[in-house]
Structure 1
Amino acid sequence: MPYTQFSLEQIKLNFGIEIREKFGIFANLSEVDYSDFLEKVLERFVPFALEIDTPKSRSEYITAPILFELKSQLKEQISLFSGKDFTVDIEKGLSGFCDFLISYSSDPLNIEAPFIVLVEAKKDNMIGALGQCMAKMLAAQLFNQRRQQDIQIIYGCVTTGTDWKFLQLIDQRIEIDLQDYSITNLGQVLGILHYCVDQVE
């Protein structure tokens, strides 16, 4: 099955993954400043995206600019991929395309060391997208293991653009942060993304 078909129950059954829920895993991290340019872009386009209210509009006008800001801040430290085929193991069902994928590599053309997976929630259904996000996190973990990439934690995020929910995969355990993070506190969202990058170093 492709990533989009996975549910939480299927993740547990198919991969023997332990799933834990915790509140505020990322809540106390330092905020990160962002550019005036990003602030102006979101000020102008968030209302427009919410008026259209499709996953594509939210992705293009909200999520993508935030990730571009992250890329701009971290320069060659990471690469950002969108809509790229990320088929890792067809037999295990780990196949399909990524919404957004962040790699700890300066290569802008090839996915080399994926460690952050972002999934767009359809119809604002954050919970419904968790299975898909987890499947892509497991694919990233397997991808790195096969290439002997020493990345201990894979991070995941399900987002509507305006709301962000974060997860982390450690060995055979996935932890879900029950707290949702909003772009009304954008510095906090960027702070979490920076933290994820820092853990790979």
Structure 2
Amino acid sequence: MQHERVQKLTISALLVAIGILIPIISPVKIILEPASFTLGSHVAIFIALFISPMMAVSVALGTTVGFLISGFPLVISLRALTHVLFAGVGAYWLQKDPGLMNSPIKTQLYSLMIGILHAVAEVFVVALFYFGGTMTEADYSQGFLRSVFLMVGVGTVIHSMVDFSLAHIVWKALNTRQSFVAKMTKLRNNN
């Protein structure tokens, strides 16, 4: 039992580290204020989501702390905090329907639903800053529909689905190793 807790903690810590490192070192960053997209920045959270709800929430919280201490603007750090919502809900959903990932169509629909939840939460945070008057003059000039709904909302759905696909590719590759499958099955069952 103690050994499994150490394994879960270690996997969570590694995923948090990866989740913090990717936004810092990634060469593919698109910043279109108030939106920002870093390719692969959600991969660690999605991998944690595939393992368990507790790990998904822990990794989402850990990466949020990483954004805060890395000096990202408050709006970006709060957007990262919203990942707790889609990670927890998505992991719980997978826990209730583990066969969901066996069908390409169901997997893509699941990814879309998680992406929409992800986007709604981030739009809410950015809208608070937008209507609270704390965004720059350039952000206001584009208007709410373009700068918040389209850039953050639609952009986040697309970004989420791309990162989900990357994480799914990694997850499937890891699952080809029998030792990995055995360890993950054991961790999931003892969650």
Q: Same fold (TM over 0.5)?
A: no
The structure whose residues are more often strand, as a share, is: 1
Q: TM-score, normalised by structure 1?
A: 0.30
Structure showing greater radius of gyration is 2
Q: TM-score, normalised by structure 2?
A: 0.31
The structure whose residues are more often helix, as a share, is: 2
